[in-house]
Structure 1
Amino acid sequence: ELLPDSERLTKFGRILRSTSLDELPELFNILKGDMSIVGPRPLLERYLKYYNENEKLRHSVRPGLTGLAQVKGRNNLEWDKRLALDVEYVSNISFTLDMKVIFLTVIKTLKKEDITIIDQTPLKDLDYERSHKFEKQGAKM
């Protein structure tokens, strides 16, 4: 279990996070061909068992540095919406859509929009959120 961001990030780390410069190392993965500039953001492997069949479509393309979910709310979106936007991207992939996402990413980065503030309550992990959702649904049945 990781420490909360407020305890593990240095002042320099906070600056990198607030300017999205902490994403720069992923450029090496793009150059290697492991990632694309645009596509669903890579997520933890442990989340796989919590995807529904439709959400698994997000893995039919390379993960990206940015994507629809990042330009339409980033970490301010609930998991269901984030994953739905990933599937929407995969279902409508095109050069035009990629250019739109890149343009919106640049704008959001320059405006510092939708960046998680260190002391805010972060989005719960997908496995935590979905396992509790399933427990609640099971209790109602």
Structure 2
Amino acid sequence: MNSFPLKRIVDLSLACLVAVVVLLPFCLVALSVKLTSPGPVLYWSDRVGRHNRIFRMPKFRSMRIGTPAVATHLLADPASFLTPIGSFLRRSSLDELPQLWSILVGDMSFVGPRPALYNQDDLIALRTERGVHELLPGLTGWAQVNGRDELPIPEKVEFDVAYLQRQSVRLDLRILWLTVLKVVRREGVTH
């Protein structure tokens, strides 16, 4: 069953609704980023999308200018690279708000595997081998609600495969609800 058109309609409708709801917080976060550290408000990261196509994904900038473009856990001292409000943005997941743009333009979905950094070769290779690269990446996903940053890559890919095999509107709604709970409880975030 191909639910891609239905999923896209749900994504667009939900993204428009969420954009209206978060407009004020979006503006406040943008202003806070600008006032607390030099550099642009948004950080555009090269990410791997559906069919391993590279796309540019925006986030509110939580790291200082000049931070190496690697997964946070690969930095020797990640906290030293954070902006004054970077830790708060990450713990609250407010840094993710600009990804609504990626959902609106069709690079991402609300639910799917989190998009890998362009240089995470091990994660990209495993996902390709297991067919996960066929999915549109998501703002949240099955791996995120089952461990998020704490999961080793092979385990993360197993959750991605489980989502690939079981994807449905019902599962997406469950993942979205679990994501809200995780964000409110600030679970599974390393920085």
> Fold-level match, TM-score > 0.5?
yes
- 1-side partners of 2:189 and 2:92: how far apart? 9
**TM-score, structure 1 as length reference:** 0.75
Q: Which has the higher helix share?
A: 1
Which of the numbers 96, 102, 111 marks the counterpart of 1:38?
A: 111
Gaps of 5+ in 1: 118-141
Shift of 1:52: 3.8
Q: How many residues align?
A: 117
Secondary structure, counterpart of 2:131 in structure 1: helix
1:109 equivalent to 2:176? Answer no
Contact 1:40–1:86, Cα closer than 8 Å, also in 2: yes
Secondary structure, counterpart of 1:11 in structure 2: coil
1:8-41 Cα shifts (integer Å, max 9, x gaps): 1112111101101111111110011110000000
- 1-side partners of 2:180 and 2:127: how far apart? 32
What do you get for the CA RMSD once the two structures are aligned?
A: 1.9
1:26-85 Cα shifts (integer Å, max 9, x gaps): 111001111000000000233346624764411111100000000000011111110110
**TM-score, structure 2 as length reference:** 0.56
Give the letter for the 1:30 counterpart.
I
Give the letter for the 1:58 counterpart.
V
Structure showing greater relative contact order (alpha-carbon pairs closer than 8 Å, 6 or more residues apart): 1
- 1-side partners of 2:88 and 2:126: how far apart? 36
- Following superposition of structure 1 onto structure 2, how do residues 1-141 of structure 1 map, counting pairs within 5 Å? 2=68, 4-48=77-121, 51-52=125-126, 55-117=129-191
Gaps of 5+ in 2: 1-66, 69-74
Shift of 1:93: 0.8
